[in-house]
Amino acid sequence: MKKILVPTDFSKEAEQALKVASQIAKRYGSEIYLLHMLEIPMQEIDAVSAKAEVPEVMFFMKMAHKKFEDIMNSDYLNGLTVHEIVKPDGTFNGISEICKEHNITMITMGSHGASGLKEMFVGSNAEKVVRSSHVPVLVIKNDHDDFSVDDIVFASDFKKDNKETYRQATEIATAFGAQIHLLMVNTASNFTTTQKAKDRIHNFIQDYSFKNYTINIYNDESIEKGILNFSKDIDADLVGISTHGRQGIAHFFNGSISEDLVNHANLPVITFKI
């Protein structure tokens, strides 16, 4: 978590994510890269690339820099190294390149709209970020005066192609000094005996030295309900899910399962790329 990218549209939700990023940065000596993507028509973007001074573009660029100045004066950013990035591309298509260019290790984003995280992850810029990001994406929904993580739920089907995501989750847990609660949800349509589920989880984690974990098999009506109910039962601080690129937000959380999970979770969600 040495370099944290925080996309912002200067909304309240984006500021909530920035506040969390600032707490993480102060705790772990991280740098923050604050990114604003301008929504500019393609022909004007081409003009900017050609270094032509399009009046509308220059106006919005100056407005963005002014808003950055206001943010930089926030008390919660005192003592932190914050880099300002303004890009004339409102689609977030270049965020992977930005991550590579600056060696970003985590992205922190806020949720938008009354529908909560669902708006971010479905048909939105954030979905593109989650799908394309090779670094963990932490999504913040609420204000956190003290963002501490002691208990992380890592829900999975515990198949081999999820192993890279578990490695990333153990790195996050180690940084926070948190315990991981490995969770496999049983449903009526996809039932596995407790012993078989435990055997699968043990085989899944046997190559890793991380020891601060619990193994949990939870029965519920659906996967997303099982994750939410289990997280509530143990008072979890963070839920981790796996992303699978073009095939959707999650490899085993497909369709409405992943959408409902991120939409209904009141706690932060972090995604890991398979």
Six token digits for residue 174: 């180690």
pLDDT tens for residues 178-229?
A: 999 999 999 998 899 999 999 999 999 999 999 999 999 999 998 888 999 9
Regarding whether 134 and 160 lie in a shared domain, the answer is no
Question: Is the distance from CB of 243 to CB of 273 less than 8 angstroms?
Answer: yes
Residue that is last in its domain, among 140, 168, 193: 140
Is the pTM higher than 0.85? The answer reads no
CATH of the domain at 79: 3.40.50.620
Write out the E strands in the chain: 3-7, 31-37, 82-87, 106-110, 137-140, 151-155, 179-186, 213-219, 238-243, 269-273
d(CA 89, CA 15): 20
125 and 193 in a single domain? The answer is: no
140-149 tens-digit pLDDT: 888 999 999 9
Q: Cα–chain-centroid distance for residue 185? A: 22
The reported pLDDT for the residue numbered 195 is 95
Number of domains forming the structure of the chain:
2
Q: Are 137 and 92 in contact (CB under 8 A)?
A: no
Q: Do 170 and 135 fall within a single domain?
A: no
